[in-house]
Amino acid sequence: DVKVTQSSRYLVKRTGEKVFLECVQDMDHENMFWYRQDPGLGLRLIYFSYDVKMKEKGDIPEGYSVSREKKERFSLILESASTNQTSMYLCASSLFLNEAFFGQGTRLTVV
Amino acid sequence: RKEVEQDPGPFNVPEGVTVAFNCTYSNSASQSFFWYRQDCRKEPKLLMSVYSSGNEDGRFTAQLNRASQYISLLIRDSKLSDSATYLCVVNTNAGKSTFGDGTTLTVKP
């Protein structure tokens, strides 16, 4: 079975902190994605990556950056966390044009 | 306009009825399509893939209409356990994977 693992289920950070969300997949998938999910707004794509060191902006990249130094790992970085980044963050991976498999999600609260 | 638009719902139905969800997409270069199911406080999971020729899995049927750029999901004989949020997904050949906002279905006894 495909396994996508996010480093934390719950995270509380202070405004202005630098926050790292880590995601690891074990199926050699080329594509990896970061989404955030908020009530009434669905899943919104922040960034995606189709190869090591490659990244593409999604629909809401502002305030975020990403890093993909190894194929299995995709990190989401909040350079200076703000309260409006309180959300559920979901990582996913897939083979090109195939279905995506999700991690269990990280519920981030910025206080 | 959103890239993927989905019936807003919510749908509240009694057991045993047939429910249909629709989803439209704007990028004609879209290459693959899926329906996902998401239970409360869980991550989305694949329900089924969607093909032009149609795809049926038990009580579930998914259909793609490329000319009109929409996909559909039909659930027959709905059951209590079908209560969830259903999300359509559209993938482009650039590797981008875009979700609809989801439609919440509640099936009541």
Tens of pLDDT, residue by residue over B2-35, are 899 998 888 999 999 999 999 999 999 899 999 9
CB-closest option in B45, B87, B95 to A48: B95
Percent of chain A residues topping a pLDDT of 90:
92
Q: What are the tokens at B68?
A: 């009109």
Q: Say whether pLDDT at B52 is over 90.
A: no
* B6, closest residue in chain A (CA to CA): A42
Helix (H) or strand (E) run with residue B41 in it: none
Q: Which pLDDT belongs to residue A91?
A: 98
B17 min Cα distance to partner chain A (Å): 26
Q: Is B97 close to A31, i.e. CB distance below 8 A?
A: yes
| CB interface of B with A, residues 67-96, below 8 Å | 87, 89, 91, 93-96
Band the pLDDT of A77: cuts 50, 70, 90. very high
Q: Count of CB contacts below 8 A, A vs B?
A: 56
Q: What is the pLDDT of residues B63-88, one digit of tens each?
A: 999 999 999 999 999 999 999 999 99
Mean pLDDT confidence for A98-102: 93
Q: Is B34 close to A103, i.e. CB distance below 8 A?
A: no
Q: How many CB atoms lie within 10 A of CB B76?
A: 14
Dihedral Cα A10, A15, A17, A22, nearest 10 deg: 30
Q: Which pLDDT belongs to residue A86?
A: 98
CB-closest option in B91, B99, B101 to A97: B91
Q: Say whether pLDDT at B61 is over 80.
A: yes
Q: Look up residue B78 and give its amino acid.
A: S
* B85, closest residue in chain A (CA to CA): A42
Q: Which pLDDT belongs to residue A42?
A: 87
* B44, closest residue in chain A (CA to CA): A102
Between these two residues, A40 and A23, which has the higher pLDDT value? A23
Residue A62 CB contacts under 8 Å (≥ 6 apart), including other chains: none
Band the pLDDT of A85: cuts 50, 70, 90. very high
Nearest to residue A64, comparing CAs of A34, A40, A97?
A34
A98 shares contact with chain B (CB less than 8 Å): yes
Q: What are the tokens at A102?
A: 């999700």
